[in-house]
Amino acid sequence: MVRAGRIRVADVAVRQLPIGPMANFGYLLADPAAGVAAAIDPSFDGRSLEAEAERLGVRVAYVLLTHGHPDHVGDAERLARAAGAKVAAHRLARVRKDVELEDGTLLELGGVAVKVLHTPGHTPDSCCFLAGRALFTGDTLFVGECGRVDLPGSSVEAMHDSLLRVLRGLPDDLVVYPGHDYGRAPTSTMGAEKAGNYTLRPRTLEEFRRFMREP
């Protein structure tokens, strides 16, 4: 973990890979010049992420978890052992972790600064990861939708804050990389989501509560 000012600007390589039977996306985030990468949400089987890292000639230094649901973390331990990587997740995540993350934590990945945005709602530990113009949103934000808030540990109130304060406040040119392939396209931009994602429309908390109760 480092201060942002100490991190040089680097070219960020992102690889999005479908994994498993629940339309999950796993990601490889890499600084090819430095030869290091992070695997994000390896889901049920991170071997495709390992193969992509080998193809790029980079070493997986971190396994980053957006939240602790089994469909996102199932292969995290095996991948971390195989790669000699550190598992990093929010401190509230009910998974074994080498690095505990908080809102605003900065991780150094070669020349890439990875900023942690704590975005609870779907789960108490849900996070998004911001690296350059890439925003990995896990199950907080999908293309055209948001994550469920009817599961144990979910919170409509927290999701309202995460969507309408944290994410709506981000620049329009960020590329959204969601945790599942649930939308009209595998990726989007924050500008497109602000304009077209009905879950991101400005609403008061009470309006958002009523909206989330609608079928």
- How much is the pTM? 0.94
Q: What is the SS3 string spanning the chain?
A: CCCHHHCCCCCCEEEEEEECCCCEEEEEEEECCCCEEEEECCCCCCHHHHHHHHHHCCEEEEEECCCCCHHHHCCHHHHHHHHCCEEEEECCCCCCCCEEECCCCEEEECCEEEEEEECCCCCCCCEEEEECCEEEEECCEECCEECCCCCCCCCHHHHHHHHHHHHCCCCCCCEEEECECCCCCCCEEHHHHHHHCHHHCCCCHHHHHHHHHCC
Look at residue 4 in the predicted model and tell me its pLDDT. 31
CA atoms within a 13 Å half-sphere pointing along the CA-CB vector of 59: 10
Look at residue 24 in the predicted model and tell me its pLDDT. 97
Look at residue 109 in the predicted model and tell me its pLDDT. 95
Count of domains forming the chain: 1
Tell me the CATH number at 196.
Answer: 3.60.15.10
Look at residue 119 in the predicted model and tell me its pLDDT. 98
Look at residue 215 in the predicted model and tell me its pLDDT. 72
- Catalytic residue positions, numbered: 67, 69, 71-72, 122, 139, 180
Residue 3 banded pLDDT, cuts 50, 70, 90: very low
* Mean local confidence (pLDDT), 133-161: 97
Residue 1, pLDDT > 60, answer no
**pLDDT tens digits, one per residue of 106-144:** 999 999 999 999 999 999 999 999 999 999 999 999 999
**pLDDT tens digits, one per residue of 165-184:** 999 999 999 999 999 999 99
Domain that holds residue 100: 4-213
Look at residue 214 in the predicted model and tell me its pLDDT. 83
Residue 11 banded pLDDT, cuts 50, 70, 90: confident
Which residue would you say has higher pLDDT here, 11 or 25? 25
